Structure formats: C-alpha cells, structure tokens
Amino acid sequence: MKTLITLIVIACSATLALAETAAEKAEAWYQQGLIAEKAGDPTTAMAAYKAALALNTNHANARYRAGEVKINASALRANAIEAKIGGVMIPAYQIEELTVQEALQILANAISKQTKDQTVPNFIIEDPNKKLADTKVTLNIKNVPVSAILKYILAQSNTKVRYDEHAVVVMAR
C-alpha cells in the first residue's frame, strides 16, 4: 500500500509541476490532499489543502476538506489503522478454548509475522467488570484477512471493537 501511495503522490507532484495557472496548481494541491486524506494522513492532507487555499482563496472544496480534516483527524488515523490491520491476510489461524486476551495475542503475533514486523498492533481489552476473564474462543480458519478473524473473535466473545489512533480496543458489550 505504501508503494501505491508513493506512486500516487509522485503522479500528483508531476501534475503539480505541469500545472500552469494558480487555479490549476490549487486544484493539483487539492487532489494531493484528497489522496493523503484517503491514506489516513491528516497532517499531509491539511498541508496540501492550505497550499491550495494559498493559491486560490476561493477554492471551496479545499476549504471544506480542510475543515473536515481538522475536525476528524483522529478518526482518519483510526480508519487508516483499521484498513491497514484488517487487510493483512493470515494463512492459518487455529486456536482452541483460549481467552480473548490469548486469542488477540496470537492474532497480533500472526499480523507481525505476515507483515515482517511492519505492522504490530496494540490490542487492548477494556473489561472493568471482568466479564471476559472466563470467555473462551475457538477458531480454525485459513487464508482470511485479519478483519474476518477479528469479527469471529468478537462474535464468539460478545465483544465490540474500537479503533483508536494507537490501539485496537476490544470491549465487553
């Protein structure tokens, strides 16, 4: 995914270099902001939108997106983390009668292994009433993305998930 984003940024930079008028340059910066926003990078997106507005103060879309990024920066980062973790394919995930904590630790290790330590998720269990202490999970599945494995774990343990900027939080329902 990093390679794709890099290629898109290069393409946008090339478009920026070819743009001649201030309005065209502003539009190119705006497009670069959209790409950064989609990639879950609110800092780069905001910088691109500001560059577009510096060239064209009447660029309504850049102004609107800059406001949205300002309001939703944490959510953008969390969505990027969800997509990054959820898209990892796990060749085999076999557990039997493990606690939710143990199941998540094995999943974190599998993600780390599959991404060659490029992605190491922080799973946190929020369980103030200790409802999950005795909950057991059993799964035996092959060639599925992490998002599917996580759904099965959540369904079996009657839990829900929240993606934060720096962690995946699993909570009792």
pLDDT 10s digits, 32-77: 999 999 888 999 999 999 999 999 999 999 999 999 999 999 888 8
Sign of the Cα pseudo-torsion (110, 169, 132, 142, in order): negative
- What tokens does 5 get? 């984003």
Q: Distance between the two ends of the chain, CA-based, in angstroms?
A: 33
DSSP string, 67-103: HHHHHHHHHHHHHHHHHHHHT-EEEEEEEEEEEHHHH
Q: Which two tokens stand for residue 23?
A: 């309005």
Domains of the chain, with CATH numbers?
A: 2-76 (1.25.40.10), 87-172 (3.55.50.30)
Q: pLDDT tens, 95-136?
A: 999 999 999 999 999 999 999 999 899 999 999 988 888 899
Token pair, residue 38, equals 């989609």
